[in-house]
Every structure is written in C-alpha cells, then in structure tokens.
Structure 1
Amino acid sequence: MINDPSSKNIRRAYQSRFRGLGFLDSYTSTHALADINEAVSAFTEAVSCTPDNHERLPGHLNGLGVSLRHRFEATGDLTDISASISALQKAVELTLDSDPDKPFWLYDLGTSLMLRFVRTKRDIGDISASISAQQRAVALSPAGSPSIPLRLNSLGISLTRRFEHTEDLADISEAISVQQRAIRLSFGNENETLAHKLNALGNSLMRRFQYTGNLTDISQSIVFQYNAINHIPETDTNTLCPWLDNLGIALTLKFLRTGNLDNISESISAHRRALELYTDGHPNLPAILHHLGGSLMHRFVHTEQLTDISESISVQQQAVQLLPENHAWLPSFLDSSGSSLMRRFDRTGHVSDINEAISLQRKAVNLAPEDHARLPSRLNNLANSLRTRFQRTRHLGDISEAIAFQKKAVQLTPETHADLPTWLSNLGVFLSDYFHHTNDITFLSEAIVVQHKAVQLMPEDHSRLTARLNNLGNALFSQYQHTQDINDLAEAISVQQRAIRQSPENHPDLPVVCNNLGRSLQARFERLKNNTDIQEALSNYQRAATFSFGSLTQRLWGAQKWARLSKQDPSQALEAWHMAIDLASQVAGLEYTIQERYAFLVDISDLSTSAAAAAFEHGQPSSALEWLEQGRCLVWRQVNNLRTPLDLLRNHNASLADELARVSRALEVAANMEEASPFTGETSMTQKMSMQSEALAHVRFAQRWDELLKEVRSMPGFEDFLRPPPCSVLVKHLPKSGPVVFVNVQEDRCDALALNSGDDTPLHIPLPEFSYNKAHYLRQVLAAHLRDNGLRERGSELNNVERGMRPERKVARSSSVMKEVLRQLWDFVVRPVLNGLGFNDLSDHDSIKRIWWCATGPISFLPIHAAGLYDGVSSTSLLDFATSSYIPSLTVLKERLRGPRDGNPSKMGLLMISQPDTPGQRPIPGTTQEVRAIEDLLRTSNVRHLCLDQAAGTFDNGIKQMGLFDCVHLACHASQNSAEPLKSAFYLHDRPLQLSAIIKQNLVHADLAYLGACQTSTGDQKLSEEAVHLAAGMLAAGYRGVIATMWSISDSVAPKIARHFYSKIIADAMVGADGKRRVSGEFAANALHYAVREVRKELKDTEENLLAWIPYVHFGA
C-alpha cells in the first residue's frame, strides 16, 4: 500500500504527484514556463518511482501526459507531444473500461493526438486515433456526467481537423452535430466553459462553409465566435489570441463571399488584436502573422492600397521566418506568400516578385501529398502566377503549365465544392490566353464551355459572380472577333450586362466590367451602326472612369475611351480628358520607385498631348496649357515637389514643415531603390525581409505625404499647396525677354501655344501643314543619318582627326538629309510660329529675342533651334530671329527664374572636370584641348576656377567641388538611363557620378552646367513627354541653365564652341566687389547663340558641318 512505511518509492511518487498537480494548477493561472517544467519533472519522478503493476501508475502517467502536452503548447517542441501521447496511451492500456477514470484518460489521449496531427499533418492515423479515443471517452461516460459536453466538444474538434485534411463532408456534419449537442447539454454551466464550445462550433461551421459556400454557415460561425470571445476575460490571452485569429479568418471568408468591406476591415482588426496579445516566441505567432497577411492581401485586391499588399508580404515573410524547419504549416505559408507577391506584381510590375511567387508556390505544391484537401487551391494559385508571368513574358511554356496545373486542380475538386467555380473560371481564362497566343480555336471553345459551367455553379448572391461573368463575356467577345458571328457578340453583351446588374455598387471589378461592356457595345456599333450601342458604350466608359474604387489603370483606360468617343461633344470630351489627366498622376504616384513610375507612364505617354489636341479642337487653349503642364514631366515634377522650399509654411507651422521635410527626404531615398534582384537559393529570408521592410516603409511614407498635404491645404492661404496650377497662374511671372512656345504634336492635329509676358491668355497658333507622321518620319530619317555618320558617342570624329575608334559606316551619307529636316521644321513649324509672334524683322540683330521651346512627341527629338533654309546666299534660319532655349516644362522655367539667385562670392566660379581617357571608355583626347582653352580664358579674366583632370577627377573630388562652385563644365563620357533617369551618370576617373548623387547634394548655389558629353539632351522616344535625359536632370538638381548636346560632338569643333561660349559669357558678366568676374548662367543662352554663330562663320553649311554645331542646345532660364 502507498502508506506502507517500507514503500519509500511509492510514498515519494505520491508526494511527487501532489507537487506536480500543484505546479500544473499554478501554470493554468500563470502560464509561466518554469511552472510547467516543474510539473513535468514532478510527474516524471512519480512515474519512475511507481511499479508497472501499481494501481496509481495510470494516474501518474496521465498527469505526465497532460503536463507534457501543456509544455508542447507553450514551446512547440514535438518531442513533448510525442512523449505525452506515449504516456497517455500507456495509461489507457493499463486501465479497465469499467474504471471511472478511463474516459478522462481517453479524452486526454485524443486531445494530444489531435494536437500532434495539427502540428505535423503528416500522419492521418493520428487524427483518426484521436477521434476513436474521443468516441470511446463519450461512450464510456456515465449518463448525465458533467464531462460529456466537454468530451463531445473535443470529439467535434477532432472530426473538424480530419475534415480539413480529407474534406469528407460526413466528418464535418458529425462534428457540428456533436458540438451542437455539447452546447445544449452545457446550458446552466459557467459562461467560460460554454464559450469554448461556442467557439469550437463556430470553427466547424466556418470549415463547412469553405466546402459548401453556404452563407448561413459562415454567418452563424461569426455570431458564435463573437459570443465566445465576449465571455473570455482580457487577461486570458492564451484563449483570446487563437479565437481572435479564427474570428479574423471567418470574417475574411465572409468578405470573399459577400464583398462587404466592413468584414475584411473587422478581420484585420481581429488579427491585429490577437497579434498584440501574443508574446514573442509563442508557437502560434506565425499562424496569426500568416492569417493577417492573407486578410491584408484580400483587402488590397479590393482597394489597391499598396500599404496593404506591402504589409501583407512583410508579415507573411515574418511568419515563414518564425516557423521551425519542416513545419506542417510551411506549405500553406509559402502558398500565401506567393499569392501576395503575385498580387503586388500585378500592380507594380516587379519581375522579381512574380518569379519569387512561382518559386514559393511550386515548393508549396511539391510539399503537399496528392490526397491533401488544399492541394487544388495551391495548384490554382501556382497556375495563376504562371499565367500572370505569361502576360508579361509571352512565354508559351508558362501558360501551358498553368493550364496543366489548373486542370489537375479541377479534377481533384468535387462537383459540390464551393471553390470549383473559381477553378473552372480561371481555367477558362488560361485557355483563352492560349488561344490568343496560338490562334487555335479549340482552346477558346473549351474556355467558353468551362466558363459557362463556372457561372452555372456560382450562387447568384456570390461576390465573385461578377468576375466569373466578366471572364465568360471576354471569352465570348474573343470568339466574336474570330468568327464575326454577331450572336457571339450579343451573348457577350448580355453576360456583361448581367455582371453589372448583379454587382454591389462598390464592387472593385465594376471598372473593368464597364470597360469590357463598352468595348463590346462599341464593336457592335461598328458592325450594325446602331446609335444606341455607341451611346451605351460611351456611358459605360464614363462609369468606369468616374468610379472612386477599383483598378486605377482600368479607370484611366475608361477615361481615355470616354474622351476619344466624345469628340463631337466638347463638354463631355473636355471633362473626360480632365479626368484622365488627374488619374495619370495617381497611377504613377510617390508610393512607387522612379523606375516603376516610368514603366507605368510608357503606356500613357501620349495622354497629355492627346488631351491638349482635344482642347485646341474645342477652342480651349487654356485647358491645353494646363494639361500639358500637369500631364508631362510627371516624375521630374514629383522630384521637384519633394524639394519645395518650406520657408513660408515654416513661418505658419514649423512642426508641420519639419515633418513634411522629413517625409520628403525619406521619399527621395525610397524612390531610387533598385528593383530587387531575382532571389536565388542563397538569398536568405532575413535579406528578403529587409528588402520588404524597405518597400513597406516607402509605401507608408507616401501615405504619410498625402496626409500631410491634406493638413497643409486645410490651412488658410495654403489651399493650393503643390496643386497643379491653373492657366491664370501659369501665365504670370513669365520672362520678359521672349515668349515660351509649346509645340504639341499629336496624331489628330499639331499646334503651337505661345505665352507672352503680360498676356492673360495663351496665343494659339495652329500648324495645319505639320503632322505627327511627318514629325515621326523626320525623327527616323535624322536618327538613321546620325547612325550612318557614326554619331553615337563622343570620340567618333566627323573629319579626318580621329578621337578613338570610329564605327564603320554601312551606308553612304546623304548630302541633304539634315538640310531637308531643317527646311521642313522651318516651313511647317518655326516660320508659322514666328509669323504668329510677329518676329519678322531681320534688320536689327541686336533686338534678337529669346524663345523657350517646350516640344512634345517626336518633334522633341528634332533640332527646332536650328530650323531654317541652308542654301547659300538666301539662307535664313531661326538663329537670325531668336536665341533658343529648351525647357522640359513651364514650371521648371518659372522656378529657375523665381527670386534672386544666391550670390555667395565664395561659391562663384567654374569647376572643370576633364576625362580624356577614362578607364573602360573610348578615349576623347580633345577634352584636354577644350579645357585648356577655357582655363586660359578664365585665368586671363580673373575668374575663380578649378580643373580636375584625369586621375584628379574622382567621384569624391567631383561631388565635393561641385558644392563649392556654382558652375560646372563636364568634359567626359556620360550615359543616360531611360528606365531610371536618376542613375544617368557622368563617367569620372574611378566610378560614375550618378544624377541621384548630384541631386542629393542640394546645390542651392547651382547656376550653370556645361555638359560637354554626347547626347546629354536626348530622351527616350517611349517617354517623350517625360524629358528623360541628363539636361533635364541637371535642371532638377537645381542648375539655372544647362548646355547640352543632342548627339555626339566633334572633338575638332567642341573646343571652338567652348572657347567662344566662355569668352562671350565672361565679357557679358559683371565684375564683383572683389574685382573678379563670374561665369553666370543668366547669359548662357546668348553666349551659346554667339558661339554657334561664330563657329558657323568659319564653316560652310555642308551636311558634315551642320552636324558639328547643331547638337549644341541650351536648357533652362
């Protein structure tokens, strides 16, 4: 007997058991790991001191098993749960069915087996054994036992867990049935006990909803879960956290079913609350992060708020990072992370995102057993990502693989499963894509069949029915385009109209469905000429554009279609173009890197010129001016806005100004982040998380910037802070020395718009003899002519003096290409502009005026400044009438003219950087002669200067000295990066000096930059309205004026131009109080005009000589 004095071990076991029970009881209150460790230790001692045949051994084993299970729940250590199961199995084996304790042992065994299954999800035997143990526990319980509700509830949980793995409806139905019985038997018990049963039933109803899609199940689930949570005290965090997490999952599922944004917002709040309550290191923390990430992703799909998708990716990466190796949750986490990355790729176009998404989702699929219930979902997600990449790369292997995976997902999914319509609809989309790529009609026919089935299986009140109908409508429209069968088009229209009718008012798919319906109606109008169709098409495009939700790109597309179809209705057309211009700036907002913004703008590069052409057509030159300013040079304007002086704001609200400055600096840094390199096997999760943290911070800074702008604009006197200025503001404070002339080149018409100081309205000068096609042709002809002459980089010589290797000429140079280009520019553009301005008198060259040209479209690549007739004695050109300058936008010019320049004498002077033989670049020895000639002039004229030649011209020296001199002359190679303009660079001795590094210096004294390098004012034809070149970049860096070149320059002519330029600018300069002259950007345009004319006097107007001096241009004030 246990009290036998001779049985010391038995007595010691008995004492250990009581000690273990005490620590176990204490742990349930404190959740202190030390308490559960002591409990395990005590029960281990009790077991070891008890003989195998002793009647108390099962009780000691059960205590040990329960303690080990609690420790597993706290630490996630699989060794503990396995040891728990072993101890409990032995306790059950040693206990007769007639023993009243056996139901307790079976209950505890079932619970531990269930927990190991949830943790590993490898052995279906665990969960089946758990169910068997729970069923025996219920069966052995005496009638009326107060423990029956608890055991029924536990049985229901185990059945639900097995259903999650097998999706056998019998399991989940039985689970709900026994849990409902448990609740009925629990009424009258304490609230907390009932709460656990309510929560479990809520979870089971949620799981059944995922299979059946029955809206009643998910609605009841949420009610039960809310009631359960309300019965749990805030201090019981171990219970509250997982329950809040499950509530969040249920709310997300209801959102996906109904589209109610309130549900997804509540879901995110529930997950966040659970996250706040969990302590670091808790084994369930990864699950909550994972579920929060999923909810954020689903809200992003609805709202397109980049903060949501960025945070989604961030928290999902954290979840993966926190998981132990080979954890059963890993496949689900990888799959969800991939889905979020795919969604972000959809919005930003980061190729690294979609590649990483596919990699993660492949791993998730490979880790899933063939019979896993979630395998179809993972196959669907992987197929979606492959299809998304196909849309970018057009690689047939991706869409073929997507179709194969999607067909497998469909085959593995029962007909009654709620997800089957989605799998079928996606398969239809993939088959349609394959048809569009191969023109194999069998794929489109199959697509329509599966799309029809998807629609038939989808409940009428399902939020995703809109998307299913839209996909079917698209497939039918594609079939019409292929067959020209009007019945196909009629069915497409009918399906798309149904999609709109059944959609809630704020459904995020409405913009795209309205656009697609508009396209179908427009096609039918073009076929049948029924005016009702075109009016309805117009109405749908207008609806798509004016929604305040949904895809920005779709809204912008709708606005453009609305505008183009409204040509005959001036008020509608102008309203539509105004909407399109406003949306364009949102599509390429500050939340994106500069590289991403330019990628978006490529597709809408002609938006502002089209809008301006419409404004000219309808007699609204003021609107044309506003739209050309607002819609062009968008990225440079954003860069400039971030550097806006805040002195006036600081006088009114210093803290707000400081916060705005802080955020603007952060956005400048973030905007220049490089797109992540493709992840490799060597890229650690820590590195990925670091990159994602930077991306999330960028998005949040952009969000904060918008909030701050609203706050500033709420202050009296700051209502228009950083808003696009109206015409009435744009025409003020113009230069008095000459007009600003916009040249708008668009496919429908070409026009000039002149702004004169003192005039309240712009002067519209139509250019009826010029056209977009003519400008495009002239650009192509000139580009070919330059290539034929080897004019690609400085160092290629036009005459016999070689400046390095000259590219071999494949085609003989024409004797009149350049002259013909200049003649057509003169006849059809410049001469009409001069006539309109009244510049007709050549008698007084001293009265030559200034003209600032702001060119658009293909004409921005042509030398307007040299337009003229070059035919000997009767030659005439723009040089005889005006000194020309170029500007990216009117705003840039006005900012460079605004207020007095900082006249700090210590900064006045010229820094010269000469690189005749940069390592890794073609030699350009003429730079030495060029710089020496300038240096002689400066020395003679007592102008402060410094020359950094060859090895002295390092990056560090260059950037340091640029801050000490207000003028800089760069005689070196340069490169222009059209994708990322701030990475355009000048090649110094040791490494490139990027434009971003210059801008970061905040050169408040910057005055003049002379860029003696090739093609420093040549932009990207795909981004002609964004001024993607070094000259514009140097203006953005703060320089008042920039001398640049349109193509490579001759080493024999470059020194002459430079010498004449500096001799003139020095002669015109004022002498300072210290007796020294200064090089001033104020006189740069006139000095260049003089230099070109002087060089031209020495040269005949041959093709070769024209190519030598024409490339020199002045940008800025």
Structure 2
Amino acid sequence: MQQDAVELTPNDHPSLSVRLDNLGGLQLLRFRRLGKLEDLESAIASQQRATELTPDDHPDKASRLHNLAHFLGNRFERLDDPADLQCAIAIQRHALDLTPDGHPDLPRRLDNLGGLYWNRFRRFGKLEDLRSATVKQRRVVRLFRDNDPDKAIAMLNLAFALTADFHRERKRDCFIEALSFYMAASTQSSASPVDRLGSARSAVGLLDSNREFTAAEMLLSAHARVLDVLSELVWLGHTMERRLEESQKLGQLVNSAVSTAIGVNALEQAVEWLDAGRGLIRTQTMSLRDPLYELEQVRPDLARALEDVQVQLRNSINATSGSNATGLMNVVPVTGQDNYSSDRHRGLAIKHGNLLAEVRRLPGFESFLLPKKLSALLASSTPFSGATVFINTDRTRCDALLLLPNGDITTLALPDLSLTKAEKLRTQWTAYLTQERVRERATSAQYRPQSSSAMSPHGILGCLWRWIVGPILKALKADIIDAEADRLPHVTWCPTGPLTQLPLHAAGLYNDDSGPRVYDFVVSSYTPSLSAVTRSIDGFTQQCSMSSILVVTQPNTPGLSPLPGTTLEGARLREVFAASQTPSLALNGDEATPDVVKLALKEHSWLHLALQRPSVLTAVGDEKNPEESMHLAAGMLALGYKGVIATMWSIQDDDAPLIVEAYYKKLLELRAAGTLGAGETGAAYAVHTAQRLREKVGEKNVVRWAPFVHFGIQTSMGGSYRLVTISPLLALYDIRDNMRL
C-alpha cells in the first residue's frame, strides 16, 4: 500500500519525501523479517531519494540521513563491502552535524556512529576506530536516561569496545570497566529480558575466559544475573508453546551456573540455583496456587486482588492450553477469538506482575513468591530420611551435590562422566526401550523379549554404576552392605539433563553375576527438585483422620488399546484392603467420571489410578526439555501429594497387578507393624519390595522389573499421607491436562 502511495505521488509533491521515508522503513522491516537482499536494496533506494528531496535546513533532514546510514550499515554487514561502511560513516557524521545538543535523538544517532566505527575496527583493525567507537559510546551512555530501554544496548556496545581494548593491552582496569558495563546493562529494568540475558552472558563469558582477572564473587554475581532473567523469558503472559520453547533453551544456563558455584565451593548457592532454575514453568504455574495467608493479615485488599488474578490466570492457562492440544504438531489459523484470548491472557499476566511488585515493596515481603533460600527449603524438607543427591551435568564438568539429612552439603566430582557421555547413554537407552517395544504402549499388552543378538541394557547400567551411582554410594559410605542393619539406607535422586531419562535405581554390573547392584545397597526415590517436595509437605494442610484409598480403574479408553489387567488389578486391591481393614472406594469404567472422582478425592488420602493417558510417561518427561520435569509424577507432587508411584516406561499388562498387590501388602504391613520411624510412610521401601518381581523374571530382565519408581518423600510430618499410585504404570498423559488437575 505504501508503495502504491509513493507511485501515485507527483515528483514535486511536498509529501513525497515523507512517504518515501516511510516506505524505506517498511522495506527494511521486511528485510529483517525475511532476509531478502532485494528488500534491503529497495529500502536504501527509497531512503536515498527521500534524503535527496529533503533540504539541509529541513527539521527531518538529520533523521533521514540517520536512517540512510543505518540501512547502509545493514548492507555492509550483509555484503561486507567497505564502500558501504565508509559511506555510512560519512552520512551519519553529517546527520550529527545537523543535530543540536539536547535533541532527544542525539544519543541514538551517536550510538549508530559508534557502531559504525566499531564495525570498521573489526573489519580493518585500526586502533583509531576503536578509540572513536569508545568515545562515542561513552557519551551515548551518559546521554541516555536511566529508564530508556535503549540504554542497556548502549552499555553493552561500550562494554564490547572496552573488551576489545582489554584484549589488546590486558590491563585490569579495562577488564573491570568492561565487566561493570556488562553487569549494569543486565540490570536495566526497562530493557527486554533478551537484552539483559545477553549482557549477563557476556559478563560470564568475559570472566570465564580470563580467570587470572576473576574472583569467585564476580563469577557468582554474573551467573546470578543470568538466572534472575530466566523467569521473565518464560513469562506467564506467553503462550504455553512459547514458554516451552524458551524453557528448552535455558537448561544449560542453569547447569553452568551450578557448575560454577560448585567450582568455587559455594555449595548452598549451587543447591539453591539448581532448585530455582529447574521446572520454571511448573514453578510459575504452581505459584498461582500458593496460599496468601500472611499477606491477608497485612493487606487483605491486595491479597484479594492477587488471588482474583491468580484464579483468572489459572483458568486462562487451562483454556488456551486445552484449546491448542495439537498446537505443537499443527499450525492452525489464528482467529479473532484467539487474539482476544491472547490479549486478555497477557493483560492478566501484566496485572499479576504489577501486583507482585506492589507486594514486594511492603516491609517483610521483599522475597514474596521468589525462589526460597536453602535454609527455608531445609526447614520444610527435614522429613527426608536419607541423603538427597543432585547430579549436575554441564559442558565443563559433572558433579554430585550430596544433601545429608542433617542439612550438611558435600560435593563429589564425577570425572568419568561428561554431558556428551550422558547424552549418548540416553540415546542408547531410548533405542533399547524402542527395541523392546516398551517406550510406547503396543497394541498388544503382552511383552515380547527380543533375540539375544539385540541391544543389551547391561552396558548402559554398568556405565551408570561406574561413572555415577557407585562413586556416590561410596561417598555416602553406603557401598557396603551392613548385615546387622534392620533395613537399607534411603537415597533420593534428583538428576538433571539427560540423566532424568535413565534408571539410576537399576544401575549395576549385570555382566558379572556377583557384581554390585544399587538395590542391594540402598532404597531409591526420585524428586524433580527440592522445592517440589517442600511444596508437597507445605501445601497439604487438610489432614484426613485415617488413611483411606480411592481406586480408579479404566479398562477401556476410547481410541487406545484395552487394558484388561486393570479389572484384575482392582479386584486384587479390594481383597488386599479388605484383609487389612483399610477403608477404600473403587470406581471402575463408566463410574469414574471426572466429577465423581474429584468429589471422592476430598475423602481419601491415597489415590490409585489404573488407566491410560496419551503423551508422556508418568515418571519421565520430555527429552528435549528434561529440566521442566513434564510428567505426571512431578505434577502430582506439585498438587500436594507427598508421594507418587509411577513408571519410567511401559510395562507388561500382567505385571501391573503383581507389582501393585505386592506394593500395597508391604506398605500396609509396614504401617501396621509399627516398625516405621516417627512420621515415616514406608512408600519407598514398599516399592523396593515390589521390585522383587526381578526374582520371578530374572534380575537381568531389567525392562520388566525396573520401570517402577517412587517420587516424593519417605517420611511425613505426621498425620495422614497423601499418596498417588498410577497403574498399569504406562499411564500416559498430556502436560496441559496435568495443569488442569
């Protein structure tokens, strides 16, 4: 349309230069969007003509010169023609000659000239160009107001020039000044999160590559700036698809920060960062459910306003996620209703952010709904009955952080493990599960083992033992069986990256009949994060008077293969519960409607699900985004259940009733015998006992007995224990459905 407007404008029309100027700007935008050189050439031609038609005494002359110089700078970056750069510098200097001091556009025009000098220095290496770029950028930084969103970019540009000067002379004062501008740019609240993250990452890069000038405090501060921005990149106002895409890019930034903290022995910081940086989307979504008791006592009006927005945001997330169930697979037309819903959702997120900022200005609420410090996490998570082991996989190093029951933290380097090795193990394990037809549920529920020439899992499990689990148990002094102990010690695993897809609880040397296996030394549980367990403890305040069990079985799910074993499973459970006089309610097939189940959940502290859901295994998330823990077990913990029994891959339908019956018999036996410690649940030990299915199928038949895992806590603060068991433990589901639970 603008092209048509220009073509219809006579050459002597006074508005022709304005229309050409607008057309050039639109053509540049299209070039940036599509990358077509012809659009850039057209933009330059339009802008040149607009500039020629504008006399020097015209108030818009400097602006049009600035635009033309900018366009030519873009063509230099594309074609590397020095003539474009020389011409751009001359035109930009002319634009500045026409710009008086105090003009609002002076800093941007100076910034463009500084950038052109910087490009010429990088192209030809002339020191005078570096000096000119530095002088211009210093002035730009001084001229920009603190709340100007472009000030962060100006600081970053100056930091680049100072870094180049530092690399030339290796002077500490230049290093410190460059670092200070990277850090200052990363804290400009008016800048975009992407720009602030880029500045913080540049600071980390400068520090990492010049360790002789670096102190531990500098490294920690730079990584802290990186992590501070992450939650804004997966902003609540974005669609779920975009939040998932953004989150997928950020996992390694967290691992790098944790690795740095470990390297400088800041172990508490390492645990806090590992906890805060994992599951960003899950943490944000669940923060919308956090109770506001303390705020209600101080500012009840603010608490009501925040609660109202939280409810609306939860509903908005559920509505947009549910309506786009296939959004990650298919591109669908955007309708006016979609735009309205998106606009409303973003508006709610902005209002939510403003309310949080207002709350955090109140005395005593400065850290309201921010990630907790380790001291606060430990105050809630003391029910852990054994060590919690965090395994960090970074490109530079891999380590285990060992959080002991008394709150002490130790670290263990894992020199035989690398991120590349972990990724290779995950690939091999995934291939093995695919080979065994258990990565997804087959049309037939009958498990069919492959030939002896097929891939074996034992090499993978051996690597897990030698590189990870064996050294960790040795560090915990749990690598020797204590014949006098009445039970095995308990370990909770919190792996990261590729390791989230691997069965650490089954690690061992199976090629040696007498080789070590992890289950001979410890009882294993998993947790997606330390705060996930904290939430499960703190979040459930409505205690039932006694344990009662809701059993939901669904043998026939439309569109999926039947699960006849669920009916047998339900019958066996009723016998087990009747024998132990445990109150229970069974809902089977058509009886188990969503409304009926929701109502029954209020009356039962244990939930047993025997059903299928499409998408993700109950204890394994998305391998492209492992840090989000996108699986049903993590979701149930977030909703307040203190423990979840789930699987890491599909199982034989006949195995589920055996495992489930053995699990509940042992659990009820432990609780009735009075052998558990104060507040202990016995859930992890009951799963460990149920895994003795290996005695029937053979311990080398890992695919049969090892999928069953326990997530959550082994001890409780007293009262009843909220537990969910998902069986036949394929129990596939969609993460967006989980958000609506």
TM-score range for the pair, normalised by the shorter chain length: 0.7 to 0.9
Match among 593, 606, 621 for residue 267 of structure 2? 621
Please tell me whether residue 404 in structure 1 is matched to residue 68 in structure 2.
no
Aligned-residue offset at 1:375:
3.1
Which structure has the bigger radius of gyration? 1
Please tell me whether residue 1027 in structure 1 is matched to residue 623 in structure 2.
no
Please tell me whether residue 850 in structure 1 is matched to residue 498 in structure 2.
no
Cα distance in 1 for residues equivalent to 2:3 and 2:589:
58
Secondary structure at 2:351's aligned position in 1?
Answer: helix
Aligned-residue offset at 1:863:
1.6
Please tell me whether residue 1108 in structure 1 is matched to residue 704 in structure 2.
yes
Match among 670, 674, 679 for residue 1068 of structure 1? 670
Please tell me whether residue 880 in structure 1 is matched to residue 520 in structure 2.
yes
User: Which amino acid letter does the alignment assign opposite residue 703 of structure 1?
Assistant: N
Aligned-residue offset at 1:923:
4.2
CA change 1:637–1:692 in 2 (3 A) is closer
CA change 1:778–1:468 in 2 (3 A) is farther
Match among 764, 775, 784 for residue 411 of structure 2? 764
The C-alpha deviation readout for 1:768-801, integer Å capped at 9, x for no partner, is 3322222122122222322333333123669666
Cα distance in 1 for residues equivalent to 2:66 and 2:206:
35
Secondary structure at 1:751's aligned position in 2?
Answer: strand
Cα distance in 2 for residues equivalent to 1:1070 and 1:899:
26
Larger CA deviation: 1049-1058 vs 445-454: 445-454
Cα distance in 2 for residues equivalent to 1:791 and 1:476:
60
Aligned-residue offset at 1:672:
4.4
Larger CA deviation: 747-756 vs 782-791: 782-791
Please tell me whether residue 786 in structure 1 is matched to residue 433 in structure 2.
yes
Secondary structure at 2:379's aligned position in 1?
Answer: coil
The RMSD of aligned alpha carbons is 3.9
Secondary structure at 1:765's aligned position in 2?
Answer: strand
The C-alpha deviation readout for 1:987-1033, integer Å capped at 9, x for no partner, is xxxxxxxxxxxxxxxxxxxxxxxxxxx62222234433322222212
The C-alpha deviation readout for 1:215-263, integer Å capped at 9, x for no partner, is xxxxxxxxxxxxxxxxxxxxxxxxxxxxxxxxxxxxxxxxxxxxxxxxx
CA change 1:939–1:561 in 2 (3 A) is same
TM-score by length of 2: 0.80
What residue in structure 2 maps to residue 251 of structure 1?
A: none
What residue in structure 2 maps to residue 755 of structure 1?
A: 403
Match among 583, 600, 608 for residue 254 of structure 2? 608
What residue in structure 2 maps to residue 376 of structure 1?
A: 20
Please tell me whether residue 1097 in structure 1 is matched to residue 700 in structure 2.
no
Cα distance in 2 for residues equivalent to 1:501 and 1:744:
43
Aligned-residue offset at 1:1095:
0.5
CA change 1:860–1:884 in 2 (3 A) is same
What residue in structure 2 maps to residue 641 of structure 1?
A: 287
What residue in structure 1 maps to residue 353 of structure 2?
A: 702
The C-alpha deviation readout for 1:623-650, integer Å capped at 9, x for no partner, is 2122222222223222333322333444
The C-alpha deviation readout for 1:758-777, integer Å capped at 9, x for no partner, is 34x41222223322222122
CA change 1:669–1:471 in 2 (3 A) is farther
Secondary structure at 1:974's aligned position in 2?
Answer: coil
Match among 1040, 1048, 1051 for residue 650 of structure 2? 1048
Secondary structure at 2:646's aligned position in 1?
Answer: strand
What residue in structure 2 maps to residue 553 of structure 1?
A: 194
Match among 937, 940, 949 for residue 576 of structure 2? 937
CA change 1:800–1:692 in 2 (3 A) is closer
TM-score by length of 1: 0.55
Q: Is contact 1:365–1:378 with CA below 8 Å preserved after alignment?
A: no
Q: Is contact 2:360–2:366 with CA below 8 Å preserved after alignment?
A: no
CA change 1:861–1:431 in 2 (3 A) is farther
Q: Is contact 2:497–2:627 with CA below 8 Å preserved after alignment?
A: yes
User: Which amino acid letter does the alignment assign opposite residue 1055 of structure 1?
Assistant: P
Q: Is contact 1:856–1:1025 with CA below 8 Å preserved after alignment?
A: yes
What residue in structure 2 maps to residue 832 of structure 1?
A: 471
Q: Is contact 1:1044–1:1114 with CA below 8 Å preserved after alignment?
A: yes
CA change 1:1045–1:467 in 2 (3 A) is farther
Cα distance in 2 for residues equivalent to 1:680 and 1:366:
32
Match among 343, 355, 365 for residue 692 of structure 1? 343
Cα distance in 2 for residues equivalent to 1:475 and 1:1051:
68
CA change 1:542–1:648 in 2 (3 A) is closer
Secondary structure at 1:875's aligned position in 2?
Answer: coil
What residue in structure 1 maps to residue 393 of structure 2?
A: 745
Cα distance in 2 for residues equivalent to 1:933 and 1:407:
81
Secondary structure at 1:1088's aligned position in 2?
Answer: helix
Please tell me whether residue 486 in structure 1 is matched to residue 125 in structure 2.
yes
Secondary structure at 2:400's aligned position in 1?
Answer: strand
Aligned-residue offset at 1:939:
4.5
Q: Is contact 1:382–1:402 with CA below 8 Å preserved after alignment?
A: no
User: Which amino acid letter does the alignment assign opposite residue 523 of structure 2?
Assistant: T
User: Which amino acid letter does the alignment assign opposite residue 772 of structure 1?
Assistant: L
Aligned-residue offset at 1:1050:
2.7
CA change 1:491–1:741 in 2 (3 A) is same
What residue in structure 1 maps to residue 383 of structure 2?
A: 735
What residue in structure 2 maps to residue 866 of structure 1?
A: 506
Matches within 5 A, 1:328-727: 370-371=8-9, 373=16, 374-376=18-20, 378-380=22-24, 382-383=26-27, 385-387=29-31, 389-390=33-34, 396=35, 400-401=38-39, 404-405=42-43, 407-413=45-51, 414-416=53-55, 417-418=60-61, 419-425=63-69, 427-428=71-72, 431=75, 435=78, 440-441=79-80, 446=84, 449-450=87-88, 453-454=91-92, 456-458=94-96, 459=99, 461=101, 462-464=103-105, 466-467=107-108, 485-487=124-126, 491=129, 494-495=132-133, 497-503=135-141, 504-505=143-144, 506=146, 507-519=148-160, 522=163, 537-567=178-208, 568=211, 569-651=215-297, 654-672=300-318, 674=320, 683=335, 688=339, 691-711=342-362, 714-715=363-364, 720-727=367-374
Q: Is contact 2:50–2:64 with CA below 8 Å preserved after alignment?
A: no
Secondary structure at 2:306's aligned position in 1?
Answer: helix
Cα distance in 2 for residues equivalent to 1:923 and 1:445:
71
Q: Is contact 1:511–1:545 with CA below 8 Å preserved after alignment?
A: yes
Cα distance in 1 for residues equivalent to 2:205 and 2:257:
9
Cα distance in 1 for residues equivalent to 2:396 and 2:508:
26
What residue in structure 2 maps to residue 973 of structure 1?
A: 612
Q: Is contact 2:88–2:116 with CA below 8 Å preserved after alignment?
A: no
Aligned-residue offset at 1:726:
2.7
What residue in structure 1 maps to residue 686 of structure 2?
A: 1087
Larger CA deviation: 868-877 vs 584-593: 584-593
Cα distance in 2 for residues equivalent to 1:930 and 1:1106:
22
CA change 1:900–1:925 in 2 (3 A) is closer
Aligned-residue offset at 1:862:
1.9
Which structure has more relative contact order (CA 8 Å, sep 6+)? It is 2
Q: Is contact 1:1043–1:1113 with CA below 8 Å preserved after alignment?
A: yes
The C-alpha deviation readout for 1:542-583, integer Å capped at 9, x for no partner, is 332244542332222222222343243212112222222223
**5+ unaligned residues in a row in structure 2: which ranges?**
10-14, 714-741
Aligned-residue offset at 1:658:
3.2
Q: Is contact 1:590–1:702 with CA below 8 Å preserved after alignment?
A: no
Cα distance in 2 for residues equivalent to 1:527 and 1:812:
62
Aligned-residue offset at 1:1055:
3.1
Could you tell me the percent identity over the aligned residues? Answer: 29
Secondary structure at 1:840's aligned position in 2?
Answer: coil
User: Which amino acid letter does the alignment assign opposite residue 507 of structure 2?
Assistant: A
Cα distance in 2 for residues equivalent to 1:915 and 1:1055:
13
What residue in structure 2 maps to residue 177 of structure 1?
A: none
Q: Is contact 2:73–2:84 with CA below 8 Å preserved after alignment?
A: no
**5+ unaligned residues in a row in structure 1: which ranges?**
1-362, 391-395, 803-808, 977-1013, 1073-1079
Aligned-residue offset at 1:525:
6.5
Cα distance in 1 for residues equivalent to 2:613 and 2:236:
28
User: Which amino acid letter does the alignment assign opposite residue 614 of structure 1?
Assistant: T
User: Which amino acid letter does the alignment assign opposite residue 825 of structure 1?
Assistant: L
Cα distance in 2 for residues equivalent to 1:814 and 1:907:
46
